[in-house]
């Protein structure tokens, strides 16, 4: 919306008022609405229902993100759950090519409620004058007059209620009264009107103009800079991605993901390797649990006992260290700091709040790890009593638990070294906060933090890593990404750009070294270097997939058995299979069946499996495979090439990597 209509609205209000009187007399009022008299028979204007959502315009960075793919261009919207994009596409962020004022703009939804409210004030002002000027000549006219006045009173009460409740306006009763009476400082340049709606309209117009001016100043300010960043999250590890002209990272030499699924890229190899390690770990665990061989069982028990004891010791250490943390005290201090920070967003209270919040997150994470690990240690103690399906397939499966616990433990340990710096920073900012009581509360809050680092000591990270490596040695790697909370950034840095120098940001997924299933996020931020004002960063979340008909390699853990033969062959036994499955993804499905198809993500293909159904030292089988939910559940039929009496076998299986992701989600939920 452009300023001219607003100026017109402002002029209407400027021209509308003059000094007033407490006693409205018939025919007395001549101000404001004489040129705009409402028809007495017309109903009173209704108070807009969206005053509650009224917000003055904030700077918005106009831009759009588009997926440019082989089958067309598709817009991507922020704040959506990750939308699947084709691994061969380009994610392109465009800005308007006009002036800075077009780039920093205000989308209609923000202006509409304000314009509606201005319109209401104008109509209510006219209605107020019209009702006051009536001269009823008989009982019917008097009754109508009373009804209309009552409706106007109801509107006034409703309006005040909404203005008081609107969180974005932050008005109290006295401020509303000052505005209505024309005594508010922002109305100093206007003659006072006895018509409260005239004063309300002027106030809103002034506020709107102030914000518009601030936006214009922002748009022409050379200190305002835009940054665009892209990140890849793969198996819990985050890394920054290169966007030409928006950073100085090295490009890297990557090959695109093969659509047939037969030539995996380097990133795809890494994914397959993780899948293979997990499948083999699961196979080893199930073999040990189901083996009749007592030595094998004892070996497993010893390994698990080691993990159990070391992990229990680490958890005890963690629990003792966090016991002193008082969540109530933390909440009280945070609330006080929050109130102070609202008054001065760049002040010491805001800086203290940021650091204190991090401590809150640290302790919450430590508690979540301790709670989950206690349950995990219990599972380890009872591992002999658990069935293989409980160990592997349920939502709280041992493997999924282990992956997330060790990963979070390692990440937490990686955060510990930064705590002393934060404590020092808080001590530095503390004297700047005038409130002595708050200073004391903060000092008290710092005591458990300091003791946390002291009690956990420098060896905690090594101990956590050691327990994780014990598990890894026994049952395979779980992609423990060290310090995954911290983003791995290549050599170089991001390049923020001024508003008059924006270029499209193009992230070419073909050349970004991504694997299928990776999460790719793009983040756009606007910062005013002069005032420190930062626009809420806008994030776009996407998931790398392949659209249309495509192949995907995978490694599955499976339980296989021969269709007939001796009991050794017909027992369900753990094995590992490599497969290539072909899928079809519908781009932007609209109907129920299309959405269901994509949700099921069914696949069919071929597999090659190592088997254990006869006496041969190496048994290989091959055949068909079908899968659902991206390989979470698989099944198939194959031919065993070894020298067995029965060659045909069937299997069911899972993709443990997918299961691990679910375990991580559950951990985050906890």
Residues at the interface with other proteins (CB under 8 A):
20-24, 26, 127-128, 131-132, 136, 142-143, 145-150, 152-154, 156-157, 159-161, 164, 173-174, 176-177, 180-181, 194-197, 199
Q: How far is the CB of 119 from other proteins (least distance, A)?
A: 17
Distance CA 304, CA 310 (A): 10
Measured from the CB atom, the residue of 32 and 574 that comes closer to other proteins is 32
Measured from the CB atom, the residue of 24 and 504 that comes closer to other proteins is 24
Measured from the CB atom, the residue of 164 and 495 that comes closer to other proteins is 164
Are 579 and 606 in contact, with CB atoms under 8 Å apart?
Answer: yes
Give backbone dihedrals phi and psi of 318, rounded to 5 degrees, phi first: -65, -45
Are 82 and 542 in contact, with CB atoms under 8 Å apart?
Answer: yes
Measured from the CB atom, the residue of 199 and 404 that comes closer to other proteins is 199
Distance CA 122, CA 36 (A): 9
Q: How far is the CB of 135 from other proteins (least distance, A)?
A: 9
Q: How far is the CB of 45 from other proteins (least distance, A)?
A: 13
Distance CA 234, CA 81 (A): 17
Measured from the CB atom, the residue of 44 and 397 that comes closer to other proteins is 44
Measured from the CB atom, the residue of 1 and 149 that comes closer to other proteins is 149
Task: Choose among 607, 587, 598: nearest CA to 629.
Answer: 598
For residue 79, give the DSSP letter.
T
For 638-665, the DSSP string reads EEE-SS-S--EEEEEEE-HHHHHHHHHH
Q: How far is the CB of 435 from other proteins (least distance, A)?
A: 29
Q: What residues contact residue 378 under an 8 Å CB cut-off, 6+ apart?
A: none
Q: How far is the CB of 207 from other proteins (least distance, A)?
A: 19
Largest CA distance in the chain: 113
Measured from the CB atom, the residue of 144 and 439 that comes closer to other proteins is 144
Q: How far is the CB of 171 from other proteins (least distance, A)?
A: 11
Are 324 and 447 in contact, with CB atoms under 8 Å apart?
Answer: yes
Q: How far is the CB of 144 from other proteins (least distance, A)?
A: 11
Measured from the CB atom, the residue of 63 and 184 that comes closer to other proteins is 184
Q: How far is the CB of 42 from other proteins (least distance, A)?
A: 14
The dihedral formed by the CA atoms of 115, 119, 121 and 124, expressed in degrees to the nearest 10: -160
Measured from the CB atom, the residue of 95 and 197 that comes closer to other proteins is 197
Distance CA 89, CA 509 (A): 6
Q: How far is the CB of 166 from other proteins (least distance, A)?
A: 14
Q: How far is the CB of 208 from other proteins (least distance, A)?
A: 21
Measured from the CB atom, the residue of 2 and 21 that comes closer to other proteins is 21
Taking each helix axis from N to C end, the angle separating 327-343 and 348-381, rounded to the nearest 10 degrees, works out to: 150
Measured from the CB atom, the residue of 101 and 164 that comes closer to other proteins is 164
By three-state DSSP, how is residue 16 classified? coil
By three-state DSSP, how is residue 415 classified? helix
Q: How far is the CB of 173 from other proteins (least distance, A)?
A: 4
Are 546 and 87 in contact, with CB atoms under 8 Å apart?
Answer: yes
What are 438's two structure tokens?
């708050």
Distance CA 442, CA 352 (A): 9
Task: State in Å, rounded, how far the first CA of the chain is from the last one.
Answer: 45
Are 348 and 337 in contact, with CB atoms under 8 Å apart?
Answer: no
- In this structure, the number of other CB atoms found within 10 A of the CB of residue 193 comes to 25
């Amino acid at each position: 919306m452009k300023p001219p209509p607003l100026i017109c609205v402002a002029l209407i209000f400027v021209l509308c008022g003059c000094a007033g009187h407490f006693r409205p007399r018939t025919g007395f009022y001549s101000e404001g609405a004489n040129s705009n008299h409402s028809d007495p028979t017309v109903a009173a204007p209704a108070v807009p229902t969206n005053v509650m959502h009224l917000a003055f315009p904030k700077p918005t960075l106009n831009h759009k993100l588009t997926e440019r793919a082989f089958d067309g261009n598709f817009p991507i919207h922020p704040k959506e759950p990750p939308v699947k994009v084709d691994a061969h596409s380009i994610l392109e962020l465009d800005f308007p090519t006009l002036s800075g004022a077009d780039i920093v703009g205000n989308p209609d939804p923000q202006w509409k409620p304000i314009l509606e409210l201005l319109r209401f004030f104008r109509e209510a002002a006219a209605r107020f004058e019209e009702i006051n000027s009536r001269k009823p000549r008989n009982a019917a006219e008097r009754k109508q007059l009373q009804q209309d006045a009552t409706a106007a009173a109801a509107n006034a009460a409703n309006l005040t209620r909404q203005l008081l409740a609107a969180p974005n306006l932050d008005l109290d009763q006295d401020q509303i009264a000052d505005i209505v009476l024309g005594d508010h400082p922002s109305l100093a340049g206007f003659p006072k009107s006895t018509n409260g709606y005239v004063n309300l309209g002027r106030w809103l117009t002034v506020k709107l103009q102030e914000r518009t001016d601030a936006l214009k100043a922002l748009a022409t300010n050379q200190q305002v800079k835009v940054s665009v960043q892209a990140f890849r999250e793969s198996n819990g590890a985050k890394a920054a991605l290169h966007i030409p002209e928006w950073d100085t990272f090295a490009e890297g030499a990557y090959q695109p993901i093969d659509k047939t699924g037969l030539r995996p890229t380097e990133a795809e190899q890494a994914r397959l390797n993780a899948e293979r390690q997990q499948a083999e770990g699961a196979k080893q665990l199930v073999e040990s649990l189901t083996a009749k061989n007592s030595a094998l069982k004892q070996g497993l028990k010893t390994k698990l006992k080691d993990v159990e004891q070391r992990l229990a010791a680490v958890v005890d250490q963690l629990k003792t260290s966090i016991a002193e943390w008082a969540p109530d005290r933390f909440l009280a201090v945070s609330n006080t700091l929050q109130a102070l920070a609202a008054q001065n967003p760049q002040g010491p209270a805001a800086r203290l709040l940021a650091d204190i919040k991090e401590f809150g997150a640290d302790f919450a994470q430590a508690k979540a790890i301790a709670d989950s690990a206690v349950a995990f240690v219990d599972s380890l103690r009872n591992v002999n009593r658990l069935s293989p399906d409980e160990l592997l397939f349920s939502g709280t499966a041992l493997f999924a638990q282990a992956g997330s616990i060790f990963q979070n433990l390692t990440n937490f340990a990686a955060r510990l070294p930064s705590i002393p710096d934060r404590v020092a920073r808080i001590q530095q900012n503390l004297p700047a906060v005038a409130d002595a009581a708050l200073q004391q509360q903060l000092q008290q809050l710092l005591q458990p933090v300091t003791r946390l680092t002291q009690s956990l000591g420098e060896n905690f990270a090594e101990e956590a890593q050691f327990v994780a490596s014990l598990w890894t040695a026994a049952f395979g790697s779980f992609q423990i990404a060290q310090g995954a909370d911290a983003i791995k950034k290549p050599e170089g840095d991001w390049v923020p750009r001024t508003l008059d120098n924006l270029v499209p940001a193009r992230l070419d997924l073909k050349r970004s070294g991504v694997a299928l299933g990776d999460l790719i996020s793009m983040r756009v931020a606007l910062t005013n270097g002069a005032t420190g004002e930062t626009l809420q960063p806008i994030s776009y979340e996407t998931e790398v997939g392949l659209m249309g008909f495509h192949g995907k390699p995978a490694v599955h853990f499976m339980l296989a058995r021969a269709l007939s033969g001796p009991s050794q062959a017909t027992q369900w036994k753990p094995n590992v299979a490599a497969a290539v499955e072909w899928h079809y993804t519908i781009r932007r499905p609209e109907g129920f069946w299309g959405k269901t198809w994509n949700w099921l993500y069914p696949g069919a293909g071929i597999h090659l499996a190592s088997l254990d159904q006869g006496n041969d030292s190496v048994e290989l089988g091959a055949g068909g495979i079908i899968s659902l939910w991206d390989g979470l559940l698989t099944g198939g039929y194959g031919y065993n090439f070894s020298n067995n009496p029965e060659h045909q076998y069937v299997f069911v299986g899972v993709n443990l990597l997918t299961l691990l992701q679910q375990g991580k989600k559950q951990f985050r939920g906890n």
